[in-house]
Amino acid sequence: MPSGNFANTMVEFPQQRALLARLQSLFDQQAEYTFQALVSLVRPPTPELLALLLDELARRGVVVRIFRLESPFSHGGLRDFPSVFDVPNTYYDEDFEREFEVRPENVLPIFRRA
Partner 1 sequence: MTYTVNDLPAILRLLEDLCTREQIDDLLRSIGAARSAPNKKALVRERVQQAFDERRLDLAKAVGMIRSAEEHGRQHVYLYQRVATEGPSLNEALSDETIEVALREIGIFSKLTNPRVLDVPEERTISEVRVERYPKGQIKALVVKQVEAREIPEGKAKREKIRGQLVTSQPLVRTRGVHLVRLQANGVLEIRLQSDRTVDYEERREALRTKLEPLFPAAQFPPVSLASAKRYLWDHRDDAGREFRLSWAKARQSNGDSAVFAVSAPDAYMQDRPTTIASLSTYLDADGAMPDGWIALLNVPKPGTDDFEELRCVLTGEPNEFSLTAQCSEAQYEYALGKLRQYNG
Tell me which stretch binds partner 1 (CB under 8 A): 15-23, 45-53, 56-64, 71-79.
71-79
Per the CB < 8 A criterion, the answer to whether 38 and 46 are in contact is no
Report which DSSP code applies to 45.
Answer: S
Task: Say how many residues touch partner 1, by CB under 8 A.
Answer: 21
Q: Which is nearer to partner 1, 21 or 37 (CB)?
A: 37
Pick one of 3, 14, 28, 99: the residue that binds partner 1 (CB under 8 A): 99
Report which DSSP code applies to 9.
Answer: H
Per the CB < 8 A criterion, the answer to whether 41 and 32 are in contact is no
Residues 27-66 that bind partner 1 (CB under 8 A): 32
Q: Which is nearer to partner 1, 10 or 108 (CB)?
A: 108
Q: Considering the rule CB under 8 A, would residue 86 count as an interface residue with partner 1?
A: no
Q: Which is nearer to partner 1, 5 or 96 (CB)?
A: 96
Q: Considering the rule CB under 8 A, would residue 68 count as an interface residue with partner 1?
A: yes
Pick one of 15, 29, 83, 90: the residue that binds partner 1 (CB under 8 A): 90
Q: Considering the rule CB under 8 A, would residue 103 count as an interface residue with partner 1?
A: no
